[in-house]
C-alpha cells in the first residue's frame, strides 16, 4: 500500500480549499487534488458536489492506481444520479486494462452494462452513436489515399491533421491507412486490428455512397465527403466535407433574406456547375424566389457572351426589369471579368452573390479590385478580418498560424478541413458538442441524417480586400 499523500491528510472540511488550490496547480497535481476533494465531499454526503468535483478531474493526468480510484468513485456517483454517459466515461478504464482488483473490475463492468442498457432504452438522440457515448476517443484511424487522383487532396488533409494533433499535444493516437491499397472492408479490418475507436475517411464520393447504403458500418465513421444517396442508412456513419452545393444554398438564403426575389444565375457548363446550379435553383424556389435567367457558360469563352445572356442585354444595355440580383459560380480568373463586363453593359449596381470559389485566399488587392462589391462566403480561415475580426480570434489560431505560413494557398481550405475533421472526430462521444461548433471551415452543425453542415461567414470585396458584411439588408453601406 502506498503511503498517504499530502492531500490525503487534509481534514474533511477542507474540500473547498482543495478545489481552490487545484485551480492554481499544474495539471497532474490538480487532477489528484480534485479527486481527493471529491472523495471528501462523497464521505460528507454531498453527492452532487462530489460528482461535480470528480467530473472536473482530468483522469488522464492521474497515476494508474488513482485512475481506478477515480473510476470507482465517479461511476458510483454517476450511477446514483442516473447519469449513464458519465458512467461510460468512468468505466472507460476497463478498455485500458489497468491493474485492479477482481471485485473492482466486476463492479465497473456491471455499471458499464447498466449505462449501455439505460442509453439503449432511452429515446435515442439523432444520429447518436451509442458505442462512443461518454467515451474518451483516443485511437483514431485515418483512411485516405496516398496515390491516385485524390492523393493531393488527401495529403493536404492529413498533413494538417498531423500538425494540429501535434500542436494540441493531446493523447490521441492517430494511425494512417493508405486507402488506395485496400477495399472498404479491408480498411475496416485494418482499423479494427489497430484497435481504433473511430475511422476518419473515406474521401471518395462513390465509396461514401456505398457506405451510406449499408444498414451499418463496422466502426463509427466520419467520412470526408457526402454520398449521392437521398438518405444515409448507416447510423454510425457521419459525413463532412467542403460542399459547393451547401454554399450555393446559403447564397440563395442570403439573397432572399436581403430582399431579392428575381435572380439570374451564371454557372459553368460542366457537371460541377450543373450540381451547384441545381442546388441554388431548388433552394431559391423553395424560398419563394424566381429564376429569370439561367446561363451555363463555357469557361474558355468570352465572358461577355454569358453576361449578355444573363442580363438580357439589348443594344449594349442590360435590361434588368425582371432581375434584381445575380448568382455567380466561377473561379477567380473568370470571376474577375464579370463585374467590369456588367459595368460595360450599364449594370454596375446589380448585387452579385458568389461562392468561395472566386476567392484565392491571398491578399492581392490589385487583382481583386475588379471584384469590388461582390458578396461571397468563405471559411473563417480564409477571411479572418471579415469573419471574426482578425486572425488571432480564429478558431485553432496556433494551427492556423503554422499552416498559413507553410501551405500552398490552393490547398489551404483542405488543410482547414483536416483540422475540423480532427476536431469533429474527438468530439463524437458527445454529439451535442457538434451543434454550433466554431470550426476552421465554418460553424458546424450535425443534421439528423448524419451529415455535418457548415454555415459560412459573408464578406464583400472593398478596394480588392474582403471586408465584413454584418447586417442583412445593408448592402450599400461603406462597411
Q: For 204-229, what is each residue's pLDDT tens digit?
A: 999 999 999 888 899 999 999 999 87
φ and ψ of 297, to 5 deg: -95, 155
The pLDDT value recorded for residue 128 is 65
In this predicted model, what pLDDT tens digit does every residue of 299-343 receive, in sequence order?
999 999 999 999 999 989 999 999 999 999 999 999 999 999 999
Label residue 7 by pLDDT band (50, 70, 90).
Answer: very low
Query: Among 14-23, 147-156, 176-185, 309-318, whose mean pLDDT is lowest?
Result: 14-23
What ranges in 322-451 are assigned the alpha helix state H? 332-335, 338-344, 365-368, 384-387, 397-406, 412-426
Determine if the peptide bond prior to 202 is cis (ω within 30°). Answer: yes
Mean of all residue pLDDT scores within the chain = 88
Label residue 6 by pLDDT band (50, 70, 90).
Answer: very low
| Percent of the chain residues past pLDDT 90, beyond the cut | 57
The pLDDT value recorded for residue 1 is 35
Show Cβ contacts of residue 104 under 8 Å, excluding neighbours closer than 6 positions: 68, 72
Query: Among 146-155, 194-203, 443-452, whose mean pLDDT is lowest?
Result: 443-452
Place of cell 458527445: 430
In this predicted model, what pLDDT tens digit does every residue of 28-38 receive, in sequence order?
898 999 999 88
Label residue 390 by pLDDT band (50, 70, 90).
Answer: confident
Contact present, 333 and 370 (Cβ < 8 Å): no
SS3 content of the chain, % helix, strand, coil (to 5): 50, 15, 35
Distances (CA, A) of 253 to 151, 344, 423: 34, 29, 28
Label residue 146 by pLDDT band (50, 70, 90).
Answer: very high
Alpha carbons 140 and 237: distance in angstroms, whole number: 15
DSSP state of 456: -
Alpha carbons 376 and 327: distance in angstroms, whole number: 10
In this predicted model, what pLDDT tens digit does every residue of 237-255 receive, in sequence order?
999 999 999 999 999 999 9
Amino acid at each position: 500500500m502506498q503511503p498517504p499523500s499530502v492531500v490525503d491528510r487534509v481534514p474533511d472540511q477542507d474540500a473547498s480549499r482543495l478545489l481552490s488550490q487545484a485551480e492554481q496547480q499544474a495539471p497532474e497535481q490538480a487532477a489528484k487534488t480534485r479527486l481527493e476533494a471529491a472523495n471528501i465531499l462523497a464521505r460528507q454526503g454531498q453527492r452532487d458536489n462530489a460528482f461535480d468535483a470528480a467530473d472536473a478531474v482530468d483522469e488522464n493526468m492521474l497515476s494508474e492506481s488513482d485512475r481506478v480510484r477515480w473510476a470507482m468513485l465517479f461511476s458510483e456517483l454517476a450511477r446514483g444520479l442516473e447519469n449513464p454517459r458519465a458512467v461510460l466515461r468512468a468505466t472507460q478504464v476497463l478498455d485500458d486494462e489497468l491493474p485492479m482488483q477482481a471485485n473492482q473490475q466486476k463492479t465497473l463492468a456491471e455499471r458499464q452494462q447498466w449505462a449501455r442498457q439505460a442509453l439503449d432504452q432511452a429515446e435515442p438522440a439523432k444520429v447518436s452513436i451509442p458505442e462512443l457515448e461518454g467515451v474518451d476517443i483516443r485511437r483514431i484511424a485515418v483512411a485516405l489515399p496516398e496515390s491516385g487522383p485524390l492523393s493531393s487532396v488527401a495529403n493536404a488533409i492529413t498533413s494538417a491533421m498531423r500538425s494540429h494533433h501535434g500542436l494540441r499535444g493531446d493523447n490521441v493516437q492517430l494511425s494512417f491507412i493508405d486507402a488506395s491499397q485496400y477495399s472498404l472492408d479491408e480498411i475496416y479490418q485494418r482499423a479494427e486490428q489497430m484497435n481504433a475507436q473511430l475511422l476518419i475517411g473515406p474521401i471518395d464520393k462513390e465509396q461514401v455512397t456505398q457506405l451510406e447504403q449499408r444498414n451499418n458500418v463496422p466502426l463509427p465513421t466520419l467520412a470526408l465527403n457526402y454520398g449521392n444517396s437521398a438518405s444515409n442508412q448507416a447510423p454510425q456513419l457521419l459525413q463532412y466535407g467542403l460542399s459547393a452545393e451547401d454554399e450555393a444554398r446559403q447564397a440563395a438564403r442570403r439573397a432572399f433574406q436581403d430582399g431579392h426575389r428575381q435572380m439570374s444565375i451564371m454557372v459553368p457548363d460542366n457537371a460541377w456547375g450543373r450540381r451547384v446550379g441545381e442546388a441554388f435553383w431548388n433552394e431559391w424556389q423553395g424560398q419563394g424566389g424566381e429564376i429569370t435567367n439561367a446561363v451555363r457558360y463555357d469557361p474558355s469563352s468570352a465572358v461577355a457572351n454569358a453576361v449578355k445572356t444573363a442580363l438580357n442585354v439589348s443594344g449594349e444595355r442590360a435590361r434588368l426589369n425582371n432581375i434584381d440580383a445575380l448568382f455567380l459560380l466561377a473561379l477567380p480568373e473568370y470571376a474577375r471579368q464579370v463585374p467590369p463586363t456588367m459595368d460595360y453593359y450599364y449594370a454596375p449596381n446589380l448585387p452579385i452573390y458568389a461562392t468561395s470559389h472566386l476567392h484565392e485566399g491571398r491578399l492581392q488587392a490589385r487583382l481583386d479590385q475588379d471584384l469590388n462589391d461582390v458578396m461571397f462566403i468563405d471559411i473563417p480561415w480564409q477571411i479572418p478580418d471579415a469573419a471574426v475580426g482578425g486572425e488571432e480570434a480564429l478558431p485553432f489560431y496556433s494551427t492556423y498560424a503554422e499552416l498559413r505560413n507553410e501551405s500552398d494557398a490552393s490547398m489551404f481550405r483542405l488543410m482547414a478541413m483536416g483540422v475540423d475533421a480532427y476536431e469533429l472526430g474527438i468530439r463524437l462521444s458527445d454529439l451535442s458538442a457538434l451543434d454550433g461548433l466554431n470550426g476552421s471551415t465554418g460553424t458546424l452543425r450535425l443534421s439528423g441524417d448524419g451529415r455535418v453542415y457548415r454555415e459560412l461567414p459573408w464578406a464583400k470585396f472593398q478596394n480588392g480586400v474582403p471586408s465584413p458584411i454584418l447586417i442583412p439588408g445593408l448592402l450599400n453601406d461603406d462597411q
